[in-house]
Structure 1
Amino acid sequence: MATATTADFAPKSPPAPSLTVKSKEALMDAIEDVIYGSIAGVAGKYIEYPFDTVKVRLQSQPDVLPLRYTGPLDCFRQSIRSDGFLGLYRGISAPLVGAALETSSLFFWERVGRELLFTANLYSRQQPLPLSALWLTGAISGAFTSLVLTPVELVKCKIQVPASAPGTVAVAPRPLAVIKEVFRHQGLRGFWHGQLGTLIRETGGCAAWFGSKETVSQLFRHWNSRSTPLTLQSSPSTSTSIPSPQNLPTTQSSPDLAPLPLYQQALAGASAGMSYNFLFFPADTIKSRMQTVAANSTAPQVRFWDEGRAIWRAYGVRGLYRGCGITVARSVPSSALIFVVFDALKGGLHLS
C-alpha cells in the first residue's frame, strides 16, 4: 500500500491562463491596427495631398532669387494655371500606398511600443499608461515607420517636383520610371536618401502626434466629467470626487472607455496633426530638398546637416519653415479624419 506524501496534500495551484488565447487576441488586435490604419490613412491622404504638393514645391525652390513662388496661394495659382486642379494630385498613386503603409505602421508600432513597456515591467497592464509613456510609444512608432516611409516619400517628391533643364518644361515621370532611375544610378541604398530627415521628423513628430492626441483627449474627459451634473456622477456606492487630468485613463490603454463626442475626437486629432507638422518641420524641409535632386546628377550627394546649413545661410529660419503654414493647415482636417475613422473602426468593428 503506497504511503501518502506531503506533496499529495499540498494545495493545487490553478492552471495558468492559456497563452494561446492571449496570443490570438494580440494577433487580432495587430491585424485590426493594420487594416483600420490603412483605411484611415488613405482617407486622410485624399484631403491633404494637394496641400502636400504645394508644400514640396515651396520647399524645393533653389537658392536663387527671385523665388518662383511668393507663397502658398501663389503656388496654388501657378500650379492650377499650368497643370489644372488635377495636377495637384500628380503622383498620388505612390502616396496612397505610402499613406496606407504609414498610418497602419504608426498604429501597429505604437501598440508594439506599449507591449514593450509592459513586457519590461515598467508599467502594469492593469493601470492606464501615463502621458509620458504614450509620448514615448509614439516616438518608438515613428522611428520604425521612418524606415518604411523614406522610399515612398522619395518617389513622391521626385514626381511632384520633376527635375528639368533650364528653359524646358518639366514632365512628371511615372512612379515605376522613378524607381528604375533611382535603382540604376544609386542602387538600393538610394531609396533611403534623406533617411535621417525622415527619422528626426517621424520620431519627434509621432511622439507629438500620439502624445498630443491623448493629452487633449484626457483634457476633454476631465472637462466632460466636471460638466456632468453631480446627480448623474454620484450614487450611494460611488464617490463624487472629480479625477484630475493626470489620473484619467487614456483611450490607447483603456479601450473600454465611452468614446468622446465626435467633435472632441476631431479636435484631439487636429491638435495631433498640428503638433506633428510644426515641431519638426525643418527636418522635413531639408529632406525634401535632398530628395528632389535628380537621381542621375553627377554632383556628390549633399549630407543632411550640410543641406540644413545651406538653407540657413541663404534664408535663415524662415527658409527652414517654408511651406509650414499650408502644411499645418492641411494637417487639421487630415489628422482629425484619420483618428476619427480609426477610433470609429476600432470601437465598432472587431475581427473575431
Structure 2
Amino acid sequence: MAFKEGGAPVSAATAKALPVDIPNKARSTAMDAIEDILYGSISGVVGKYIEYPFDTVKVRLQSQPDHLPLRYTGPLDCFRQSIKADGVMGLYRGITAPLLGAAAETSSLFFFERLGREVVYASGYYSHDRVLPLPALWFTGAFSGSLTSFVLTPIELVKCKIQVPMMTSADGMAPKAPSIMSVIRGVYKHEGFRGFWHGQMGTFLREAGGCSAWFGSKETTTKLFYLLNERNATSQLEKDALATEALPLWQQAVAGASAGMSYNFLFFPADTVKSRMQTSPIGRSAQNRTFMQEGRALWKQSGLRGMYRGCGITVLRSAPSSAFIFMVYDGLKRHLPL
C-alpha cells in the first residue's frame, strides 16, 4: 500500500502509472498551496478554540519564577485559581492573537510541509510519480517546523505576555490585563523589532523536532490503520475499495491525536524554557536570559520535573485539538477541492 500526499492511499500499481504532466503539475501545486493556506487556517482556528484554556494553564504553570515559591500546585489548582480570579472567560484572555496565530501557524505548517516534499523531490532521490516513504515525511515535518518557527515566535511572545499578566508588570503594582497593542508597543519600545523574536531558539527546537513527530506520527499511524484494514478485508473487492477510501472517522481521530501527543511530549522542555523567556517583564531587557541561561536556571531550581511542568495537561489537550485539525483539514481537502 502506498500513499498520496495528504495521506490518501493509492495502490502501488497506480502510483507507478501516474502520468507526469509538467503544466498540470504546476497548476496542481499552485492550487494545493492555496488549499494548504485556506484549509490550514480554518483547521487551526478550530483547534485553537478547543485547546486555548488548557494552553493558558500550561503557560502559567511553566512561567512560575524560579526565585519565588510555586504559586500553583498543579493543573487543577491553576484552573481553580484562574477561574476564581477571572472567571471562565479569563482562560480565554488574549485569544484574538492566538486565533490569528493558529491560522498562520497551521497554514504555514501544511504549506511548508508541501514545500519540504518538493525539496525532497528536487534532491533527485525520488521522482514526482513516486510516493515518499515515511522517513522522508518525518524530514518534511522537521523542514516545515523549522521555517514555521520564525512565523510563530512573535505571535507566541504576545500570547504568553497576555496569558500571564502578572509577569508583565515591572513596577510591583497589581497587574492590569494587557491588550495586544499594549504588549506590541511595549516590546518594540524597550527591545526593538528584534525583541519580538525573543525565545526563537526554543520555538525552533520545539517546532523542528515536534513537527517532525507531528506529521510523521500522523502518517505512520495512518499507514498502520490502512494495513490493518487491508488485512481484515475478506475479499479483493473490499481491499480495492479500502485503497481509495478515507479511514473511518475514529481512526482519523486516533492518527491525529497521536500526532498531537508526540509533538507536545518529545520537545516539551524547549517549550518550557521558551515560555519562561517570553513571560519575562517588559522593560528589563538587560535581565533577559539566553536560552541556555534560562534552561540552566530552571534545571538548577527544579530539575527534570521543572522542565516538564504543565506537560500532562498539554499532552491531554493536544489529543482532541490535533485530531480535529487533521480531520477538518483532510475533510476539506477531500470534499472541497479548489
TM-score (norm 2): 0.90
Partner of 1:299, secondary structure, is helix
Which of 131, 141, 161 lines up with 1:158 in the alignment? Answer: 161
Q: Which residue in 1 is equivalent to 2:332?
A: 345
- Shift of residue 193 of structure 1? 0.4
Within the candidate set 179, 188, 191, 2:196 is matched to 191
Aligned mates of 1:298, 1:206 — CA distance in 2: 30
Change beyond 3 A, Cα 1:166–1:324: farther
Choose the corresponding residue for 2:229, options 184, 204, 224.
224
CA distance in 1: counterparts of 2:108 and 2:245, whole angstroms: 26
**Mapping 1:213-292, distance limit 5 Å:** 213-230=218-235, 232=237, 257-292=244-279
Counterpart residue type for residue 186 of structure 2:
E
Q: What corresponds to 2:71 in structure 1?
A: 68
Equivalent in the alignment of 2:178? 173
Write the distance in 2 (CA, Å) between the matches of 1:208 and 1:180: 36
Give the C-alpha shift of residue 294 in structure 1.
Answer: 1.5
Residue of structure 2 in register with 1:51 after alignment: 54
- 1:51-77: CA deviation from partner (whole Å, max 9, x where unpaired): 000000000001145310000000000
Paired with 1:346 and 1:257, the residues of 2 have a C-alpha distance of 15
The equivalent residue for 2:319 is 332
Cα 1:197–1:293 shift into 2, 3 Å: same
Question: How far 1:199 sits from its partner (Å)?
Answer: 0.2
Give the Cα separation in 1 of the matches to 2:244 and 2:280: 49
Task: Look up the match of 2:211.
Answer: 206
Match of 1:128 in 2: 131
* Residue 138, structure 1, aligned to residue 154, structure 2: no
Instruction: State the Cα deviation string for residues 24-69 of structure 1 (Å, max 9, x = none).
Output: 2211110001000000000000000000000000000011453100
Task: From the superposition, tell whether residues 107 and 147 of structure 1 become closer, same or farther in structure 2 (CA, over 3 Å).
Answer: same
Question: Which residue does 1:81 correspond to in 2?
Answer: 84
Aligned-pair CA distance for 1:231 = 5.5
The CA distance in 2 between the partners of 1:258 and 1:171, in whole Å, is: 53
CA–CA distance in structure 2, aligned partners of residues 142 and 219 of structure 1: 24
Provide the C-alpha distance between the structure 2 equivalents of 1:341 and 1:54, rounded to a whole number of angstroms: 26
Correspondence for 1:11: none
Kept after mapping to 1: 8 A contact 2:230/2:239:
no
Post-superposition shift, 1:20? 3.7
TM-score, normalised to structure 1's length? 0.87
Higher helix proportion (structure 1 or 2) = 2
Asked if the contact 2:61–2:309 (Cα under 8 Å) also holds between the matched residues in 1, the reply is yes
Mapped contact 2:169–2:282 kept (Cα < 8 A): no
Q: Distance in 2 between the 1:26 and 1:65 partners?
A: 53
| Number of aligned residue pairs | 317
- 1:127–1:298 CA distance, 2 compared to 1 (3 A): closer
Deviation at residue 166 of structure 1 after TM alignment: 7.7
**Larger Cα-atom Rg:** 1
Who is 1:297 aligned against? 284
Residue pair 2:215, 2:259 contacting (<8 A) in 1 also: yes
Q: Which residue of 99, 103, 122 corresponds with 1:100?
A: 103
Partner of 2:6: none
Identical pairs, percent: 64
What runs of 5+ residues in structure 1 fail to find an aligned partner?
A: 1-16, 236-248, 250-255
One-letter identity of the residue aligned with 1:291:
Q
- Tell me the CA shift for residue 233 of structure 1: 5.2
Amino acid at match of 2:148: T
In 2, Cα distance between equivalents of 1:227 and 1:18: 36
Task: Provide the C-alpha distance between the structure 2 equivalents of 1:116 and 1:165, rounded to a whole number of angstroms.
Answer: 46
Q: Structure 1 residues 120, 218: closer, same or farther in 2, change over 3 A?
A: same
Aligned-residue offset at 1:125: 2.0
Q: Which residue of 2 aligns with 1:309?
A: 296
In 2, distance between residues paired with 1:164 and 1:135? 41
Alignment of 1:27 with 2:14, yes or no, is: no
